[in-house]
């Protein structure tokens, strides 16, 4: 099996992937657009990895309103938490377009036919992927906890500014990896909004007036408060 462009398999060689496939722990399947990959309420023992296309993680409430909670792109994994915990899915995994999915069975970590070294690699990569998602969820919680639109934007923008400036979010070994001046203490420099010409005073972020921000944030609420998607205008 060829190398798979996914963080989950970045340390695995082609021979090791062949070993997993020969043991029956890897399989691929193609899905048409809008086809359900995993149904809410079902229990799964496999982790999905998107090889081509994209997958939407959707929630359907009691009133029949569908919300897209997240979008999973090529190389990313989904349903790993449910696969290991044995809990019934609370969401649907739906093909957002024609896609190809690779399924990894969790039994690969307990199969006696698999070498311990390969199991250790898989376990380390699974843990890394899970922790990354945990951090992403924590960042989303920080951005959506404030009660007002203004509070949410003022929480979200500094985080995006840090990412745009290339500041590492990992625990630094030295203080030099973090900015020496706080975004809140920096002197404001009014600029004109690219949308309507209104003056704004956020000197470290993309010029954006409050009128445009409010409109974008309303779209964010409809998309499950995913501000990253709503701000891509």
22: domain CATH number is 2.60.120.10
The verdict on residue 206 lying in a domain is no
Q: What is the pLDDT of residue 218?
A: 62
pLDDT tens-place string over residues 67-108 = 998 899 999 999 999 999 889 999 999 999 999 999 999 999
Cα separation, 130 vs 133, whole angstroms: 5
Cα separation, 112 vs 131, whole angstroms: 27
The verdict on residue 94 lying in a domain is yes
Q: For residues 74 and 159, which has the higher predicted lDDT (pLDDT)?
A: 74
The verdict on residue 23 lying in a domain is yes
Compute the C-alpha angle 225/127/146, nearest 5°. 25
Has residue 42 got a pLDDT over 80? yes
Band the pLDDT of 164: cuts 50, 70, 90.
low
Q: For residues 229 and 100, which has the higher predicted lDDT (pLDDT)?
A: 100
CB-count burial class (<10 Å; 0-12, 13-18, 19+) for 233: exposed
Q: What is the pLDDT of residue 222?
A: 57
Number of CB atoms found within 10 A of residue 49's CB: 27
Q: What is the pLDDT of residue 217?
A: 57
Cα separation, 212 vs 224, whole angstroms: 19
| Greatest mean pLDDT among 37-46, 147-156, 190-199 | 37-46
Which structural domain range is residue 58 located in?
7-140
Count how many domains the chain has: 1
> Quick one: average pLDDT of 112-125?
90
The verdict on residue 182 lying in a domain is no
CA proximity to 97, closest of 51, 35, 4, 27: 35
Q: Specify whether the CB–CB gap between 4 and 10 falls below 8 A.
A: no
pLDDT tens-place string over residues 176-206 = 333 333 333 333 444 454 555 544 444 334 4
The verdict on residue 42 lying in a domain is yes
The verdict on residue 93 lying in a domain is yes
> Quick one: average pLDDT of 12-20?
89
Q: For residues 149 and 90, which has the higher predicted lDDT (pLDDT)?
A: 90
The verdict on residue 69 lying in a domain is yes
Tokens of 211: 């009128």
Q: For residues 23 and 200, which has the higher predicted lDDT (pLDDT)?
A: 23
> Quick one: average pLDDT of 50-70?
90
Q: What is the pLDDT of residue 204?
A: 35
The verdict on residue 99 lying in a domain is yes
């Amino acid at each position: 099996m060829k190398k798979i462009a996914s963080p989950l398999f970045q340390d695995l060689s082609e021979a090791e992937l062949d070993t997993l496939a020969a043991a029956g722990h890897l399989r691929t399947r193609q899905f048409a657009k809008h086809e359900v990959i995993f149904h809410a309420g079902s229990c799964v023992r496999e982790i999905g990895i998107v090889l081509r296309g994209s997958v939407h993680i959707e929630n359907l409430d009691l009133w029949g309103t569908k919300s897209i909670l997240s979008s999973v792109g090529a190389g990313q994994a989904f349903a790993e938490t449910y696969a290991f915990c044995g809990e019934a899915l609370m969401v649907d995994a739906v093909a957002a377009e024609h896609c190809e999915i690779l399924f990894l069975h969790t039994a690969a970590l307990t199969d006696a036919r698999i070498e311990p070294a390969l199991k250790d690699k898989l376990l380390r990569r699974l843990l890394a992927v899970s922790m990354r998602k945990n951090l992403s969820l924590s960042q989303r919680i920080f951005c959506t906890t404030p009660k007002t639109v203004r509070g949410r934007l003022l929480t979200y923008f500094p985080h995006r500014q840090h990412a745009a400036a290339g500041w590492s979010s990992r625990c630094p070994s030295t203080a030099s990896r973090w900015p020496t001046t706080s975004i809140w203490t920096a002197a404001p420099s009014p600029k004109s909004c690219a949308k309507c010409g209104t003056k704004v005073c956020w000197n470290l972020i993309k010029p954006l007036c409050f009128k445009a921000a409010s409109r974008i944030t309303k779209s964010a609420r409809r998309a499950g408060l995913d501000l990253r998607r709503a701000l891509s205008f």
